[in-house]
Amino acid sequence: MDSLHDPAARGFASDNYAGVHPEVLAAIAAANGGHQTSYGGDAYTARLQDVFAGHFGAGVTAWPVWGGTGANVVAMLSMLPRWGAVICADTAHIHADEGGAPEKAGGIKLLTVGTPDGKLTPELIAREAWGFGDEHRAQPLVVYLTQSSELGTVYTPDEVRAIADFAHVRGMRVYMDGARLAGAAASLGLPLRALTTDAGVDVVSVGGTKNGGLGAEAIVVLDPDASDGLVYLRKHHMQLASKMRFVSAQLLALFDGDLWLRNARQANAMAARLRSALTAGLADGSVRDVGFTQPTQANAVFATLPAEVAARLRESFRFYDWDSSRDEVRWVCSFDTTEADVDAFVAAIARETTA
Protein backbone atom coordinates (compact mmCIF):
# COMPACT_ATOMS: atom_id res chain seq x y z
CA MET A 1 0.00 0.00 0.00
CA ASP A 2 1.25 3.49 -0.83
CA SER A 3 1.64 5.97 2.01
CA LEU A 4 -1.44 8.13 2.50
CA HIS A 5 0.38 10.90 4.34
CA ASP A 6 3.52 12.98 4.07
CA PRO A 7 6.18 11.09 6.07
CA ALA A 8 8.15 14.32 6.43
CA ALA A 9 5.33 16.12 8.26
CA ARG A 10 6.03 16.99 11.89
CA GLY A 11 3.98 18.55 14.65
CA PHE A 12 4.03 19.25 18.37
CA ALA A 13 0.53 18.14 19.35
CA SER A 14 1.24 14.79 20.99
CA ASP A 15 3.77 12.00 21.20
CA ASN A 16 0.90 9.81 19.98
CA TYR A 17 1.29 11.48 16.59
CA ALA A 18 4.73 9.94 16.11
CA GLY A 19 5.21 6.72 14.20
CA VAL A 20 6.79 3.49 15.40
CA HIS A 21 10.50 3.23 16.10
CA PRO A 22 12.25 1.04 13.50
CA GLU A 23 13.60 -1.26 16.22
CA VAL A 24 10.06 -1.84 17.45
CA LEU A 25 8.84 -2.61 13.94
CA ALA A 26 11.74 -5.02 13.54
CA ALA A 27 10.81 -6.73 16.81
CA ILE A 28 7.23 -7.22 15.64
CA ALA A 29 8.53 -8.77 12.42
CA ALA A 30 10.92 -10.99 14.36
CA ALA A 31 8.04 -12.26 16.49
CA ASN A 32 6.08 -13.18 13.37
CA GLY A 33 6.03 -16.57 11.68
CA GLY A 34 5.02 -19.92 13.01
CA HIS A 35 2.61 -20.47 15.85
CA GLN A 36 2.83 -19.29 19.44
CA THR A 37 0.35 -19.88 22.23
CA SER A 38 -2.28 -17.13 22.32
CA TYR A 39 -3.47 -14.91 25.16
CA GLY A 40 -0.05 -14.54 26.79
CA GLY A 41 1.20 -18.10 26.79
CA ASP A 42 3.97 -17.17 24.36
CA ALA A 43 7.74 -16.94 24.73
CA TYR A 44 7.77 -13.15 24.37
CA THR A 45 5.38 -12.51 27.23
CA ALA A 46 7.34 -14.96 29.38
CA ARG A 47 10.56 -13.10 28.60
CA LEU A 48 8.88 -9.81 29.45
CA GLN A 49 8.41 -10.98 33.05
CA ASP A 50 12.17 -11.33 33.44
CA VAL A 51 12.86 -8.00 31.77
CA PHE A 52 10.48 -6.08 34.00
CA ALA A 53 11.79 -7.91 37.07
CA GLY A 54 15.16 -6.46 36.13
CA HIS A 55 13.70 -2.95 36.01
CA PHE A 56 11.34 -3.12 39.01
CA GLY A 57 12.56 -5.95 41.24
CA ALA A 58 11.99 -9.63 41.80
CA GLY A 59 8.44 -10.85 42.23
CA VAL A 60 6.71 -8.29 40.01
CA THR A 61 4.14 -9.39 37.45
CA ALA A 62 3.62 -7.71 34.08
CA TRP A 63 0.25 -7.77 32.34
CA PRO A 64 0.50 -6.46 28.76
CA VAL A 65 -2.52 -4.50 27.51
CA TRP A 66 -3.48 -2.52 24.43
CA GLY A 67 -3.73 1.05 25.66
CA GLY A 68 -3.29 3.53 28.45
CA THR A 69 -6.94 4.09 29.32
CA GLY A 70 -7.52 0.36 29.52
CA ALA A 71 -4.42 -0.04 31.66
CA ASN A 72 -5.65 2.62 34.08
CA VAL A 73 -9.17 1.27 34.41
CA VAL A 74 -8.13 -2.37 34.79
CA ALA A 75 -5.30 -1.62 37.20
CA MET A 76 -7.44 0.55 39.48
CA LEU A 77 -10.28 -1.97 39.46
CA SER A 78 -7.85 -4.64 40.62
CA MET A 79 -6.88 -2.41 43.56
CA LEU A 80 -10.38 -1.45 44.72
CA PRO A 81 -13.47 -2.98 46.26
CA ARG A 82 -16.78 -1.91 44.76
CA TRP A 83 -17.12 0.84 47.34
CA GLY A 84 -13.64 2.25 46.72
CA ALA A 85 -12.69 5.64 45.29
CA VAL A 86 -9.56 7.13 43.75
CA ILE A 87 -7.97 10.44 44.71
CA CYS A 88 -6.38 12.24 41.75
CA ALA A 89 -5.42 15.70 40.54
CA ASP A 90 -8.13 17.60 38.69
CA THR A 91 -5.86 17.57 35.63
CA ALA A 92 -5.35 13.79 35.86
CA HIS A 93 -5.71 11.83 32.65
CA ILE A 94 -8.33 9.57 34.21
CA HIS A 95 -10.46 12.62 35.01
CA ALA A 96 -9.85 14.99 32.11
CA ASP A 97 -8.93 12.85 29.12
CA GLU A 98 -10.48 9.40 29.28
CA GLY A 99 -14.07 10.16 28.36
CA GLY A 100 -15.41 9.05 31.72
CA ALA A 101 -14.00 5.53 31.25
CA PRO A 102 -13.12 5.00 34.94
CA GLU A 103 -16.65 5.96 35.96
CA LYS A 104 -18.56 4.38 33.07
CA ALA A 105 -16.51 1.25 32.39
CA GLY A 106 -15.15 0.77 35.89
CA GLY A 107 -17.77 2.30 38.14
CA ILE A 108 -14.96 4.08 39.98
CA LYS A 109 -15.63 7.24 41.94
CA LEU A 110 -12.95 9.88 41.34
CA LEU A 111 -12.18 12.40 44.07
CA THR A 112 -10.34 15.28 42.41
CA VAL A 113 -8.01 17.83 43.94
CA GLY A 114 -6.81 21.08 42.39
CA THR A 115 -3.05 21.40 41.93
CA PRO A 116 -0.88 24.24 40.59
CA ASP A 117 1.49 21.96 38.68
CA GLY A 118 -0.34 18.68 38.11
CA LYS A 119 1.36 17.01 41.08
CA LEU A 120 -0.25 15.75 44.27
CA THR A 121 1.24 16.15 47.74
CA PRO A 122 0.25 14.60 51.07
CA GLU A 123 -1.38 17.90 52.03
CA LEU A 124 -3.47 17.97 48.86
CA ILE A 125 -4.42 14.30 49.19
CA ALA A 126 -5.56 14.97 52.76
CA ARG A 127 -8.38 17.15 51.38
CA GLU A 128 -10.12 14.00 50.17
CA ALA A 129 -8.57 11.32 52.41
CA TRP A 130 -11.32 11.29 54.98
CA GLY A 131 -14.60 9.58 55.80
CA PHE A 132 -13.08 6.16 56.34
CA GLY A 133 -15.77 3.84 57.63
CA ASP A 134 -18.56 6.27 56.71
CA GLU A 135 -21.13 4.28 54.74
CA HIS A 136 -22.34 7.48 53.07
CA ARG A 137 -18.99 8.25 51.43
CA ALA A 138 -17.12 6.36 48.73
CA GLN A 139 -14.01 5.13 50.48
CA PRO A 140 -10.76 6.78 49.30
CA LEU A 141 -8.54 3.71 48.90
CA VAL A 142 -6.24 4.49 45.96
CA VAL A 143 -4.09 7.52 45.17
CA TYR A 144 -3.48 8.05 41.45
CA LEU A 145 -0.26 9.72 40.28
CA THR A 146 0.88 10.44 36.73
CA GLN A 147 4.60 10.34 35.96
CA SER A 148 5.36 12.63 34.25
CA SER A 149 2.27 14.65 35.08
CA GLU A 150 -0.29 16.00 32.61
CA LEU A 151 1.43 19.39 32.98
CA GLY A 152 4.83 17.97 32.07
CA THR A 153 6.18 18.07 35.61
CA VAL A 154 8.08 15.22 37.24
CA TYR A 155 7.77 13.70 40.71
CA THR A 156 11.06 13.07 42.50
CA PRO A 157 11.47 9.78 44.38
CA ASP A 158 11.23 11.66 47.67
CA GLU A 159 7.93 13.22 46.61
CA VAL A 160 6.53 9.83 45.63
CA ARG A 161 7.76 8.27 48.87
CA ALA A 162 6.08 10.98 50.94
CA ILE A 163 2.79 10.28 49.16
CA ALA A 164 3.17 6.51 49.52
CA ASP A 165 3.92 6.78 53.22
CA PHE A 166 0.92 9.07 53.74
CA ALA A 167 -1.33 6.70 51.81
CA HIS A 168 -0.14 3.42 53.29
CA VAL A 169 -0.50 4.47 56.90
CA ARG A 170 -4.16 5.22 56.12
CA GLY A 171 -4.77 1.92 54.38
CA MET A 172 -4.66 3.40 50.89
CA ARG A 173 -2.66 2.13 47.91
CA VAL A 174 -0.71 4.06 45.27
CA TYR A 175 -1.19 3.59 41.55
CA MET A 176 1.13 5.33 39.11
CA ASP A 177 0.07 6.00 35.53
CA GLY A 178 3.39 5.60 33.75
CA ALA A 179 2.35 6.43 30.20
CA ARG A 180 5.40 8.72 30.15
CA LEU A 181 7.38 7.04 32.93
CA ALA A 182 10.39 6.68 30.64
CA GLY A 183 10.57 10.44 30.18
CA ALA A 184 10.46 11.05 33.92
CA ALA A 185 13.26 8.56 34.55
CA ALA A 186 15.33 10.11 31.77
CA SER A 187 14.72 13.58 33.18
CA LEU A 188 15.94 12.59 36.64
CA GLY A 189 18.71 10.28 35.43
CA LEU A 190 17.35 7.45 37.56
CA PRO A 191 16.32 3.83 36.92
CA LEU A 192 12.64 3.00 36.69
CA ARG A 193 12.73 1.22 40.02
CA ALA A 194 13.81 4.37 41.85
CA LEU A 195 10.60 6.14 40.85
CA THR A 196 8.30 3.22 41.58
CA THR A 197 9.17 0.14 43.65
CA ASP A 198 11.74 1.84 45.85
CA ALA A 199 9.47 4.86 46.36
CA GLY A 200 6.52 2.80 47.61
CA VAL A 201 4.32 2.59 44.51
CA ASP A 202 2.09 -0.50 44.57
CA VAL A 203 1.05 -0.82 40.92
CA VAL A 204 2.35 1.03 37.86
CA SER A 205 1.44 1.12 34.22
CA VAL A 206 4.43 1.19 31.90
CA GLY A 207 3.89 3.04 28.65
CA GLY A 208 5.32 1.99 25.32
CA THR A 209 3.01 3.70 22.85
CA LYS A 210 4.12 7.28 23.53
CA ASN A 211 7.77 6.25 23.45
CA GLY A 212 8.08 4.53 20.08
CA GLY A 213 5.62 1.65 20.32
CA LEU A 214 2.77 0.76 17.99
CA GLY A 215 0.26 0.10 20.78
CA ALA A 216 1.73 -1.48 23.87
CA GLU A 217 1.35 -0.82 27.58
CA ALA A 218 1.74 -3.03 30.62
CA ILE A 219 0.26 -3.09 34.11
CA VAL A 220 3.08 -4.06 36.47
CA VAL A 221 2.07 -5.22 39.92
CA LEU A 222 4.88 -4.32 42.32
CA ASP A 223 3.16 -5.45 45.51
CA PRO A 224 1.08 -8.61 45.00
CA ASP A 225 -1.07 -7.72 48.01
CA ALA A 226 -2.20 -4.50 46.32
CA SER A 227 -3.92 -6.05 43.31
CA ASP A 228 -6.31 -8.94 42.73
CA GLY A 229 -8.22 -10.39 39.81
CA LEU A 230 -6.20 -9.03 36.90
CA VAL A 231 -6.38 -12.40 35.18
CA TYR A 232 -10.15 -11.86 34.91
CA LEU A 233 -10.37 -8.07 34.73
CA ARG A 234 -8.06 -7.78 31.73
CA LYS A 235 -10.40 -9.98 29.68
CA HIS A 236 -13.52 -8.46 31.18
CA HIS A 237 -12.43 -5.00 30.02
CA MET A 238 -11.30 -6.05 26.55
CA GLN A 239 -7.57 -5.58 27.21
CA LEU A 240 -6.52 -9.21 26.69
CA ALA A 241 -4.74 -9.49 23.35
CA SER A 242 -5.18 -12.82 21.60
CA LYS A 243 -1.88 -12.45 19.72
CA MET A 244 -0.14 -11.04 22.76
CA ARG A 245 3.32 -11.92 21.50
CA PHE A 246 3.19 -8.84 19.27
CA VAL A 247 2.37 -6.55 22.20
CA SER A 248 5.08 -8.10 24.36
CA ALA A 249 7.60 -7.98 21.51
CA GLN A 250 7.18 -4.20 21.34
CA LEU A 251 7.82 -3.85 25.06
CA LEU A 252 10.84 -6.14 24.79
CA ALA A 253 12.26 -4.00 22.00
CA LEU A 254 11.93 -0.96 24.23
CA PHE A 255 12.90 -2.33 27.65
CA ASP A 256 15.18 -5.33 27.03
CA GLY A 257 17.95 -2.83 26.39
CA ASP A 258 18.09 0.94 26.45
CA LEU A 259 15.80 1.96 23.59
CA TRP A 260 13.21 3.24 26.09
CA LEU A 261 15.85 5.54 27.56
CA ARG A 262 17.30 6.69 24.25
CA ASN A 263 13.86 7.59 22.95
CA ALA A 264 12.88 9.42 26.13
CA ARG A 265 16.14 11.35 26.25
CA GLN A 266 15.63 12.50 22.66
CA ALA A 267 12.09 13.71 23.31
CA ASN A 268 13.14 15.49 26.50
CA ALA A 269 16.15 17.08 24.84
CA MET A 270 14.02 18.47 22.03
CA ALA A 271 11.55 19.98 24.51
CA ALA A 272 14.47 21.57 26.35
CA ARG A 273 15.82 22.90 23.04
CA LEU A 274 12.42 24.40 22.20
CA ARG A 275 12.13 26.07 25.59
CA SER A 276 15.71 27.36 25.49
CA ALA A 277 15.41 28.76 21.96
CA LEU A 278 12.18 30.59 22.76
CA THR A 279 13.65 31.96 25.99
CA ALA A 280 16.64 33.27 24.06
CA GLY A 281 14.34 34.74 21.43
CA LEU A 282 12.32 36.57 24.06
CA ALA A 283 15.53 37.98 25.49
CA ASP A 284 16.84 39.32 22.16
CA GLY A 285 13.45 40.40 20.83
CA SER A 286 13.23 37.94 17.94
CA VAL A 287 10.27 36.27 19.68
CA ARG A 288 7.40 38.12 21.32
CA ASP A 289 4.20 37.41 23.22
CA VAL A 290 5.22 33.96 24.44
CA GLY A 291 5.04 33.06 28.14
CA PHE A 292 5.64 29.83 30.01
CA THR A 293 3.18 28.42 32.52
CA GLN A 294 5.03 25.33 33.79
CA PRO A 295 8.64 24.22 34.12
CA THR A 296 9.81 22.05 31.24
CA GLN A 297 10.95 18.86 32.97
CA ALA A 298 10.18 16.15 30.42
CA ASN A 299 8.97 16.29 26.82
CA ALA A 300 6.25 18.96 27.02
CA VAL A 301 6.34 22.75 26.94
CA PHE A 302 3.35 24.65 28.30
CA ALA A 303 3.15 28.22 27.05
CA THR A 304 0.84 31.14 26.40
CA LEU A 305 0.45 32.47 22.90
CA PRO A 306 -2.06 34.91 21.40
CA ALA A 307 -4.93 32.96 19.87
CA GLU A 308 -4.55 34.56 16.45
CA VAL A 309 -0.86 33.65 16.39
CA ALA A 310 -1.64 30.08 17.41
CA ALA A 311 -4.19 29.82 14.61
CA ARG A 312 -1.64 30.91 12.02
CA LEU A 313 1.01 28.55 13.35
CA ARG A 314 -1.38 25.60 13.13
CA GLU A 315 -1.47 26.00 9.37
CA SER A 316 2.00 24.42 9.39
CA PHE A 317 2.40 22.75 12.80
CA ARG A 318 -0.26 20.86 14.74
CA PHE A 319 -0.54 21.48 18.50
CA TYR A 320 -3.32 21.68 21.07
CA ASP A 321 -4.83 24.40 23.21
CA TRP A 322 -4.58 23.50 26.88
CA ASP A 323 -6.53 26.30 28.56
CA SER A 324 -8.06 28.55 25.93
CA SER A 325 -9.35 30.95 28.59
CA ARG A 326 -5.80 32.15 29.08
CA ASP A 327 -4.37 31.31 25.63
CA GLU A 328 -2.38 28.41 27.06
CA VAL A 329 -1.06 25.82 24.60
CA ARG A 330 0.87 22.57 24.89
CA TRP A 331 3.80 21.58 22.70
CA VAL A 332 4.97 17.98 22.92
CA CYS A 333 8.16 16.50 21.49
CA SER A 334 8.52 12.86 20.48
CA PHE A 335 11.27 10.27 20.10
CA ASP A 336 11.57 11.21 16.42
CA THR A 337 11.55 15.00 16.87
CA THR A 338 14.78 16.40 15.44
CA GLU A 339 16.75 19.58 16.03
CA ALA A 340 15.69 20.71 12.57
CA ASP A 341 12.03 20.20 13.51
CA VAL A 342 12.42 22.34 16.62
CA ASP A 343 14.40 25.04 14.83
CA ALA A 344 11.78 25.28 12.08
CA PHE A 345 9.03 25.61 14.69
CA VAL A 346 10.92 28.28 16.60
CA ALA A 347 11.52 30.21 13.38
CA ALA A 348 7.79 30.04 12.62
CA ILE A 349 6.92 31.27 16.11
CA ALA A 350 9.41 34.12 15.75
CA ARG A 351 8.01 35.06 12.37
CA GLU A 352 4.38 35.02 13.49
CA THR A 353 4.89 36.83 16.79
CA THR A 354 6.85 39.66 15.22
CA ALA A 355 4.76 40.03 12.06
Structural domain contains residue 348? yes
pLDDT, one tens digit per residue, over 271-314 is 999 999 999 999 999 999 999 999 999 999 999 999 999 999 99
- Are residues 196 and 317 located together in one domain of the fold? no
- Are residues 298 and 348 located together in one domain of the fold? yes
Q: Residues of the chain with pLDDT > 70: what percent?
A: 100
**What is the C-alpha to C-alpha distance for residues 198 and 160, in angstroms, rounded to an integer?**
10
Residue 226, sorted as left (phi over 0), alpha (psi -120 to 50) or beta, turns out to be: alpha
- Are residues 236 and 309 located together in one domain of the fold? no
Considering 202, 232, 257, which residue would you say is the last residue of a domain? 257
pLDDT, one tens digit per residue, over 288-298 is 999 999 999 99
Q: Give, for 332, the enclosing helix (H) or strand (E).
A: strand 328-332
- Are residues 246 and 278 located together in one domain of the fold? no
- Are residues 272 and 240 located together in one domain of the fold? no
Q: What is the CATH number of the domain that holds 286?
A: 3.90.1150.10
- Are residues 226 and 144 located together in one domain of the fold? yes
**What is the C-alpha to C-alpha distance for residues 185 and 54, in angstroms, rounded to an integer?**
15
The model's pTM is 0.97
Q: What is the CATH number of the domain that holds 173?
A: 3.40.640.10
Domain that holds residue 347: 260-353
Q: How many domains does the chain have?
A: 2
On the 0-12 / 13-18 / 19+ scale of CB atoms within 10 A, 104 is exposed
Considering 226, 257, 288, which residue would you say is the last residue of a domain? 257
Considering 257, 286, 311, which residue would you say is the last residue of a domain? 257
- Are residues 113 and 219 located together in one domain of the fold? yes
- Are residues 229 and 266 located together in one domain of the fold? no
- Are residues 97 and 219 located together in one domain of the fold? yes
Query: Using 50, 70 and 90 to split pLDDT, how confident is the model at 2?
Result: confident
- Are residues 205 and 288 located together in one domain of the fold? no
Structural domain contains residue 14? no
